Structure 1
Amino acid sequence: MRIPIAIVVSLALAACAAPRSNWTPERLALALPAHKAVLLGEVHDNADGHRLRLEALARAVEAGWRPAIALEQFDRERQADLDAALKTCGEDADCVIRAGLGGGGTEPSGWNWDFYRPVVALALRYDLRILAANLSRADALRVMREGFAPVLGMGLAARLAAVPQDLAAGQRREVEIGHCGKLPASVVPRMVDAQVARDAFMAEVVDANAARGVVLLAGNGHVRRDLGVPRWLRTPALVVGYVEDKPAAGVYDVAVRIKAQPRGDPCAGL
């Protein structure tokens, strides 16, 4: 789908002048097809964010955009299963999800599939390829034990041989906060390696599919410009965060504010 240059320019100018809260699904849907690569974040348990993201994505697809959809929720070893399921499952989204989970049910993976089933259904309805964008837990643990090369191969591992200092420090901070400061100090650097490996692999998936257009759906932490996938991308991308609180400047190109999800203290009893 080609967007007239006048629309692209007007959207760019409006982005500079308008508050970020003005990024409605309708407006975002107009902007998405102008980019070869789009990264759409999420707060995993926030229903409002999933609803707004799906609306923007669906509007763009319904208007003619045909990107591949890369999902954090599927691990890379399931790609062949997903490709086969997309050919044989008809419009049965649960059939595709089961294939993407290795033939199991839709819940044991820990994801709330009520949020992702409509995305899979959209892909089936418009014949969009679904990409497995994540490393499995087993692969992440291997990175922690053995390093990057045995899991990612020498080519990608070479790019990760010297993780920039600011990125490593930022990831370390996020890992410590995310685990309530309870991790042993010796474990934190290895968990940083696992997170970096996931981001770098997601970037590889995006780069490999950018020629036809690709959108990555992943957690806000993965898509942030300062620490996540964009640090490893070769393809220029539009980065959209769906955020409950105002982010720091430069973390996302577009920050869509969403209703805060009520939740208890995640550190209680840890």
Structure 2
Amino acid sequence: MPVVPRPLFTPPGRSVARPRRRLLRALVAAPVGLLAGCATATPRTSTSAGDPAQRLQAALATQPLVLLGEVHDNAAQHRLRADALARRLASGARPALLMEQFDRERQAALDAAMAAPGGNAEARADAVIEAGWPQGRAGWDWTFYRPFITLALQHRLPLVAANVSRTDTRRIVSGGLAAAGFEPAVPADIAQAQAGAIVASHCGQVDEPLARQLMLAQVARDQFMARQLVAHAATGAVLLAGNGHVRRDIGVPRWLPPEWQRRSMAIGLLEEGEAPDAAFDLALFTPAAARGDPCAGMARIPQRPAPGTAR
């Protein structure tokens, strides 16, 4: 499950280009963790009071666009979200389901798999996963996400790939946001916070210049998620993505048009022990998942030498 990237290092005699490419692949597959930075937008509400299941179920019905965060390896959060979504669908709602776990280049394959006849929803879910995330690719723990795909099949929801592909990410990092059709003007507070989050999520082993370069990929993902939310707003849309993406201050909501910023709900699912975060309209807490030290064995990624500079 892509919570933190694999340890990155440069073996003796090997070019720094290879670990940098590996870092880029990890960034595409693994969203930045809990992003830092000061909030620039005042949340309408931010509370963890009351029963989380009831509060989440109620929150899903408040706005047509719901951004539903997660800590990727926290099973309790996935169960909580899937139950709340199931109850929402039982009431008759039919929003599009946008998933960070699928790259946008897989949309046609996802559509075909969702429309394929035969079998019950539970059995068909694996075929949908295979269509959207071909076998052999490391990454997500699909046991967490299969229930959402099953719900989409049962209720015939549009299933939308909400991530920017690795190919586009390489183009963005090397040529800028405009090279892949994204808005190139990034507000300074977003750029600073996203770069800082990349440094922190890689245990300080990524230097600031490289982090600012990789920051563009994170911004592209947020922009694309915002576009997809707007594209499916007529029937409502629920985005499943990491907490960093759904932050109202520096994440997807910042890239929504103002009218849809007002008609969106950003929900962060945090772990007990974390500080309350005003970047969400609603923050809910669950027990923390058991995990090892994510920084163990991670080594520094060297900065790319400037052109013409001897190594």
Q: How does 1:1-20 map to 2 (within 5 A)?
A: 20=48
Q: How big is each residue's C-alpha offset from its partner over 1:165-205, in whole Å with a ceiling of 9 and x where there is no partner? A: 11111111111101111113331111111111111111111
**Residue 204 of structure 2 corresponds to which residue in structure 1?**
181
**Partner residue in 1 for 2:74:** 46
Where 1:200 maps in the other structure, the secondary structure is helix
Q: Do the aligned partners of residues 240 and 85 (structure 1) sit closer, same or farther apart at CA in structure 2, a change above 3 Å counting?
A: same
Q: SS at 1:22's partner residue?
A: coil
Contact 1:37 1:210 in 2 (8 A): yes
CA distance in 2, matches of 1:249, 1:259: 16
**1:131 aligned onto 2:160:** yes
Are 2:102 and 1:70 aligned?
no
How far apart are the structure 2 equivalents of 1:165 and 1:19?
28
Which consecutive residues of structure 1, in runs of 5 or more, have no partner in the other structure?
A: 1-14
Task: Report 1:181-220 matches (<5 A).
Answer: 181-220=204-243
Higher percent of residues as helix? 1
Distance (Å, rounded) in 1 between the aligned partners of 2:51 and 2:230 = 26
Residue number among 107, 110, 113 corresponding to 1:85 in the alignment: 113
Q: Deviations over 1:48-71 (max 9, x none)?
A: 111111111111111111100000
User: What corresponds to 1:22 in structure 2?
Assistant: 50
Instruction: Give the Cα–Cα distance (whole angstroms) in 1 for the partners of residues 275 and 84 of structure 2.
Output: 21
The aligned residue for residue 15 of structure 2 is: none
Q: Any conservation in 2 of the 1:69–1:217 contact (CA below 8 Å)?
A: yes
| Separation in structure 2 between the aligned mates of residue 194 and residue 125 of structure 1, nearest angstrom | 34
**For residues 219 and 19 of structure 1, do their structure 2 counterparts lie closer, same or farther at Cα, with a shift above 3 Å needed?**
closer
> Alpha-carbon deviation of 1:262?
1.4
Q: Which residue in 2 is equivalent to 1:258?
A: 286
The aligned runs of 1:162-173 (5 Å cut-off) are 163-173=186-196
Matched, 1:238 2:270: no
Asked if structure 1 preserves the Cα contact closer than 8 Å seen for 2:62 and 2:265, the reply is no
Does the CA-based 8 Å contact 1:199-1:232 persist in structure 2? yes
What is the aligned partner in structure 2 of residue 112 from structure 1?
141
Q: Percent identity?
A: 48
- State the secondary structure of the residue aligned to 2:208: coil
C-alpha contact 1:240 1:255 (8 A) present in aligned 2: yes
Unaligned residue ranges in structure 2 (runs of 5+) = 1-43, 299-311
Q: Tell me the CA shift for residue 27 of structure 1.
A: 3.5
Q: Which residue of 1 aligns with 2:308?
A: none
Q: Is the 2:198–2:215 Cα contact (8 Å) retained in structure 1?
A: yes
Cα-Cα RMSD? 1.8
**In structure 1, how many angstroms separate the alpha carbons of the residues matched to 2:174 and 2:74?**
33
TM-score normalised by structure 1 residue count: 0.86
Q: Residues of 2 paired with 1:243 and 1:89: CA distance?
A: 38
Q: 2:170 is matched with which residue?
A: 141
Q: Which amino acid aligns with 2:61?
A: P
Q: In 2, distance between residues paired with 1:94 and 1:218?
A: 20
How many angstroms apart in 1 are the aligned matches of 2:143 and 2:117?
18
Q: CA offsets, 1:110-154, max 9 Å, x none?
A: 100000001000000011010000012232122101111221x2x
Report if the CA contact (8 A) 2:98-2:238 is conserved.
yes
Aligned-pair distance for 1:19?
5.0
| Separation in structure 1 between the aligned mates of residue 225 and residue 138 of structure 2, nearest angstrom | 19
Which one has more relative contact order, counting CA pairs under 8 Å at least 6 apart?
Answer: 2
The answer as to whether partners of 1:21 and 1:255 remain within 8 angstroms in 2 is no
Alpha-carbon displacement from aligned partner over 1:23-54 (angstroms, at most 9, x marks no partner): 53234223312311000001001111111111
Q: Helix, strand or coil: the match of 2:268?
A: strand
Instruction: Read off the aligned partner of 2:165 and give its amino acid letter.
Output: S
- What letter matches 1:258 in structure 2? T
Q: Give the conservation status (yes or no) of the 8 Å contact 1:89–1:95.
A: no
State the secondary structure of the residue aligned to 2:139. coil
Supply the distance in 2 between the matched residues of 1:174 and 1:233 (Cα, whole angstroms).
21
Q: Say which SS state the counterpart of residue 292 (structure 2) adopts.
A: coil
Which of 120, 127, 131 in structure 2 is aligned with 1:95?
127
Shift of 1:217: 0.1
Of residues 118, 122, 144, the one that matches 2:151 is 122
Task: Tell me which residue corresponds to 1:222.
Answer: 245
Counting matched residue pairs gives: 246
* Distance (Å, rounded) in 1 between the aligned partners of 2:267 and 2:51: 10
Aligned residues of 1:89 and 1:96 also touching (Cα < 8 A):
no
